[in-house]
Structure 1
Amino acid sequence: MSNPTDFPKPIFISVNGVELEVFEAGQENIGKPIVLCHGWPEHAFSWRHQIPALVTAGYHVIAPNQRGYGNSSRPIEVTSYDVEHLSGDLIGLLDHYGYKEATFVGHDWGAMVVWGLTLLYPSRVNRVINLSVPYQKRWEKPWIELMEQFFGDDFYFVHFNRQPGVADAVLNDNTFQFLRNMYRKNQPPVEPEPGMMMINLAKAKAPLGEPIMSDSDLAVFVSAFEASGFTSSINWYRNLDRNWHLLANVHPIIQQPALMIYGDRDTVAKSENLKEFVPNAEEVSLDCGHWIQQEKPEETNQTILKWLEHQATS
């Protein structure tokens, strides 16, 4: 069990017109950077189990709270959260430290940003490690339009876009309950409820399954979102169609060595054609749900370190 007081203390770095709250460890390993990119509704603290293992393995670990999260800047404009801005922040971090390139690790939305970053700035990414969310092929229709067609108005990606502010307010009013109910594992199978999933989660009085973290760890996430609210992080979703347009003319193949880690019980589907777009990818599945690095910290660490070691010697 982790102790929040052992987590690195934040530093603040100005990049790309914003200030990022960054948790850094392993400065003695300068020259071997690895950047950890969290998902939604997360925080750099979601990498608490990986940071010490990566430092011991000789890496300089850089774990930002990306824009919209924690004590990082939260621009008002929705378009400030598109893939160009989010990627630009990460490139700004590399420039700050004087690194030409780094290994990038992403989970959930962080994985989507890392895939986009690698497409936009291929010379700055030497290896990719992504958890949960595989490379997404660019379809002929914009994402929200496509999701609306297949999943309907209540699908949370669609709802966030079509009814801005509605879910944000419910999540803001029920922050503890929402995050407590969200961060679970081994949930029993249940029939999907009518309505919007995230709003339902925020309003549910009793959580399902088992918690994936201690009360003190959960409190780190809760206090961060009580301070920031949810709108700035949900704005990432509100740029999906904009990202679809921004990436229209980008070469879609990623040549970097890549490790894709899935959770066998994750609701996010595994890719059926990953190597078509990421030909140098290796795929690994762990027996867990969506919160891979928090549910299975040791297995995640072993998988990542074994792959990195193999990359270093191949």
Structure 2
Amino acid sequence: MNGRRTIGVTPPRAMTIAGTDSGGGAGIAADLRTFAACGVHGCLAVCAVTVQNSVGVTGVHTIPPETVAAQIASVAGDIGLDAAKTGMLAGAEIIEAVAAACDEAGIGAAHRTPLVIDPVAASMHGDQLLADSALDAFRTLLFPRATVVTPNLDEVRLLVGVDVHDRAAQYEAAKVLHGLGPRYVLVKGGHLREDTDGCVDLLYDGNSFTELPGPRFDTGNTHGGGDSMAAAITSGLARGMTAPEAVAFGKRYIVEAVRHSYPLGAGHGPVSPLWAVREWWDERAGT
């Protein structure tokens, strides 16, 4: 990678609207790492601050909704955005503020700036993280504004009541989710037990389905995987890709990020963006 090619050239700009992870494995930290690895300048609107490490979350402090909205407006009005994504939004009031702020800033499927909704609603163990009012706000406010939604199977169950145990149910879930209004639905298959040797994500645009197969790795170090894939998709959209192209780009990115994941602390280590910058590092190190 020749660093001189980008001197003085403003890269595409993307925003993550999400929560922090003090352990650096997920949330805004994962999103910003992914943006950088994908050649995109990352901006942020903090919705919540978590007390978190590789073992779990022991505290959450939510940001006032008006402050969340103000962050979005401030960046969009000055720096401008080529794409945006959401992650942990903490509650219905913040979701309402984000929806209104995105409308004001021209972010969403009906506007110039595409919006990826990663509906963070379940823990790694499938436990519900959000109140029912927040789940309803996702369904009624953010999904209709979404260019792409990227739920995992636990989030599918919480959002639309479809318990996905096989490929047929994965297809059915995509149809139900698309009925809530997003342009594209990506039902991630990482938790699908019938896929023992691979991992098939399913993209649906309301007319046709596209299966995106990939390898399955024997590792517990997958913290931040959903965040990172959604951020890679957002990066692709910011770079001018179509939604199907961006989803395929995100799939390729997350496969390598999981392949290169690493242990950290006593719990689950993170997926890694470092594979994407290795060429630059090796060149600078003279190796």
Please indicate, yes or no, whether the TM-score normalized by the shorter chain is above 0.5.
Answer: no
TM-score normalised by the chain length of structure 2: 0.42
- Answer 1 or 2: higher relative contact order, Cα 8 Å, separation at least 6: 1
TM-score, normalization by structure 1: 0.39
